[in-house]
Amino acid sequence: MKWKKFKIKTKTEAEDIIISTLYDIGLEGAQIEDNVPLTALEKEQMFVDILPQPAPDDGTAYLSFFVEETEDGKLLKNGEETDEEAILLEVKAELALLRSFCDIGEGSIAVDETEDIDWINNWKQYFKQFYVDDILIVPSWEEVKEEDKDKMILHIDPGTAFGTGMHETTQLVIRQLKKYVTTDTELLDVGTGSGILGIIALKLGAKHVLGTDLDPCAIPAVAENKEANEIADEAFDMMIGNIIDDKEVQDAAGYGKYDIVAANILADVLVPLTPVIVNQMKTGAYYITSGILNVKEEVVVQAVKNAGLTLVEVTRQGEWVSVTARKDF
């Protein structure tokens, strides 16, 4: 599928009104490029520990809109055929109208054609089956080889929003789960994403998993991966919300209930999470954390100790760290 790309140079303060205006004429979905610093909330919801340093914000923004192109060179907008010239005239007219009452900056439009790529599925070519020790992780679109059918197999489709299990941080948690999961384990997976950790825990024999996440996309992602792995629906429950500061989420999760809490998230999120999550843990429960760059190791270790937990083990893979602790009170 080919797409025609219309890229508008504007100002950051005009992003929303331009996107809304062009949505009204059938140009839906915008790619935004600017150097506006992330807010504290945005950083909290991102699964990265160190962000690249952007260029200084000079107020410039680029908005790109994509229109499907047919084989004969026609463009499709709202299901109707049009052409590049007609869209340009329409966009220029809307920008001129906006310019009469707000500052949209330069307002120039560049047109380009994207490659013939299936954007939604193209990333799949880079995700192949792989082992984490003796656990074989297989993407849902690949067949299991005959010689691998006697292995512990996890079928995973992360979609476009979540991880695959290939990252070192996920692998570190998987290895800890193998040590501590029993047939009686109630597990709380904070920031569950695709559900990979919870599903592996169940395959290792855990009794029940509750996953929490900030992103509503986690619910269908987990549901699909449960089905792909033949996990009973009642064995893995999901909840959307921030367990750090949302009392309703904390109450719904329950107190003194979990044998293991897994949290593969940011070091900067683990710090406020730790003193809260001890309330969900049973006496003797394990707290398995990851997503920690080695430069943040001591920060998380100190947070664990400050919460009254006993440090059990620190494991490492590459530049990443997992901190495991136990609740002895």
Sign of the Cα torsion 73, 79, 83, 88 reads: negative
- With tokens 């799949």, the residue in question is 124
Q: Residue 179 falls within a domain, yes or no?
A: yes
Residue 179 and residue 313 in one domain: yes
Residue 187 and residue 285 in one domain: yes
> In which residue ranges of the chain is pLDDT below 70?
1, 38-54, 115-127, 158-166
CA dihedral of 272, 174, 214, 255, whole degrees rounded to 10: -60
Last residue of a domain, one of 113, 134, 154: 113
Residue 99 and residue 222 in one domain: no
Token pair listed for 157: 């489709």
Last residue of a domain, one of 74, 96, 113: 113
Residue 104 and residue 167 in one domain: no
Predicted local distance difference test score (pLDDT) of residue 222: 92
34: CATH: 3.30.70
CA distance 236 to 222: 9
Residue 108 and residue 166 in one domain: no
User: Hey, how many other C-beta atoms are within 10 angstroms of the C-beta on 95?
Assistant: 19
Q: Residue 207 falls within a domain, yes or no?
A: yes
Q: Residue 267 falls within a domain, yes or no?
A: yes
Q: Residue 119 falls within a domain, yes or no?
A: no
Cα dist from 262 to 101, 252, 270, whole Å: 52, 17, 11
Q: Residue 132 falls within a domain, yes or no?
A: no
Find the domain containing 76 and state its range.
2-113
Residue 211 and residue 289 in one domain: yes
Predicted local distance difference test score (pLDDT) of residue 118: 59
Q: Residue 140 falls within a domain, yes or no?
A: no
Distance of CA 33 to the CA centre of its chain: 20
- Look at strands 31-34 and 75-77 and give their pairing: unpaired
Predicted local distance difference test score (pLDDT) of residue 6: 93
174: CATH: 3.40.50.150
Predicted local distance difference test score (pLDDT) of residue 91: 95
147-168: pLDDT as tens digits: 888 888 888 875 544 455 567 8
Q: What angle is formed at CA 143 by the lines to CA 139 and CA 145, rounded to 5 degrees? A: 115
In terms of Cβ atoms closer than 10 Å to its own Cβ (0-12, 13-18, 19+), residue 89 is exposed
Residue 83 and residue 178 in one domain: no
CA distance 66 to 120: 14
Q: Residue 141 falls within a domain, yes or no?
A: no
In terms of Cβ atoms closer than 10 Å to its own Cβ (0-12, 13-18, 19+), residue 268 is middle
Last residue of a domain, one of 72, 87, 113: 113
Token pair listed for 36: 């506006």
Residue 170 and residue 316 in one domain: yes
Residue 101 and residue 214 in one domain: no
CA distance 169 to 296: 13
Q: Residue 155 falls within a domain, yes or no?
A: no
Query: How many independent structural domains does the chain possess?
Result: 2
- Look at strands 2-11 and 109-113 and give their pairing: antiparallel
Closest residue by Cα to residue 160 from 255, 93, 224, 94: 224
Cα dist from 205 to 150, 182, 183, 189, 310, whole Å: 17, 6, 5, 15, 25
Residue 189 and residue 105 in one domain: no
Residue 294 and residue 230 in one domain: yes
